[in-house]
Amino acid sequence: MFLYIKYMVSLRCKMVVKEELKKLGLHYVNVDLGTIEILGDITNFQRNALRKNLKRYGLELLDDKRKIIIEKIKSVITEMVHYSDELPKMNYSDYISEKLGYDYTYLANTFSEVKGITIQQFIILHKIERIKELLLYDELNLTEISYLLHYSSVSHLSNQFKKITGLTPSYYKKLKKKRLKNLEDL
């Protein structure tokens, strides 16, 4: 059986969810960003207790099909941009569609209706947050970052970064302040 969790975007979230499952005596096969695969069924009491316990950590157990699809899309994008060593070589639309097993048009329309932005805009926001992280770590230069995140050029990366943040990447790097948004706020 699968359960879906909203706002589950980090390794710390996964640890919290595993601990809460353990407290309730629920055995899991896999805990991924936004998804839990548990062994057997879950009782209404366990479901309600899990919902209540997760809420204390800002996580939400989902039941609505559209919300579940949105969370799956967000999880695929978060994993793709923030936790993969390299972005996929194929179009993001093909990648997301293949990963989730749905037609991309359906996914895109559902996402836009619910979130009010396109999947592409959401990916750009995540890529900008990833660029901020990489700039603050100061391990890669802009050319390497643009290559890693599949920008056609440093100029393209810089223009998109400035459009979203109002700052050039170089100026942002000079500030050296952590300006990372919480992923769940995107």
The first and second tokens of residue 5, run together, are 């969790």
What pLDDT is attached to residue 175?
Answer: 78
Largest pairwise CA distance in the chain = 55
Average pLDDT of the residues of the chain: 89
5: three-class secondary structure by DSSP: strand
Handedness of CA 167, 168, 174, 179 (dihedral sign): positive
Band of residue 181 on the pLDDT scale cut at 50, 70, 90: low
Mean pLDDT of 149-166: 94
At residue 173, the pLDDT reads 84
Alpha helices in 116-186, H assignment, sequence order: 119-137, 142-148, 154-165, 169-175
102: number of Cβ within 10 Å: 16
Q: Which residues pair with 6 in a beta bridge?
A: 60
Q: How far apart are CA 131 and CA 127, in angstroms?
A: 6
- Over residues 136-154, the mean pLDDT reads 90
Is 59 in contact with 42 (CB distance < 8 Å)?
Answer: no
User: How confident is the model at residue 137, as a pLDDT?
Assistant: 85
Mean pLDDT of 144-149: 92
Q: What is the pLDDT of residue 127?
A: 94
pLDDT at 169: 93
Binned at pLDDT 50, 70 and 90, residue 183 comes out as: low
CB 74 within 8 A of CB 36: no
Q: What local confidence, expressed as pLDDT, does residue 164 receive?
A: 95
Cβ atoms of 30 and 75 closer than 8 Å: no
With a pLDDT cut of 70, the percent of the chain lying above it is 94
Instruction: Tell me if 21 sits within 8 A of 28, measured CB to CB.
Output: yes
Q: What is the pLDDT of residue 182?
A: 56
- pLDDT score of 11: 86
Q: Is the model's pLDDT at 178 over the cut of 60? A: no
pLDDT tens-digit map of 1-51: 889 898 888 889 999 999 999 999 999 999 988 889 999 889 999 999 999
Neighbouring-strand partners of residue 38: 28
Over residues 111-139, mean pLDDT: 92
CA dist 161 and 34 (Å) reads: 28
Model confidence over 23-37: pLDDT tens digits?
999 999 999 888 899
Amino acid identity of residue 126, one-letter, is: H
H-helix or E-strand containing 113? helix 104-115
| Token pair in block for residue 118 | 């396109």
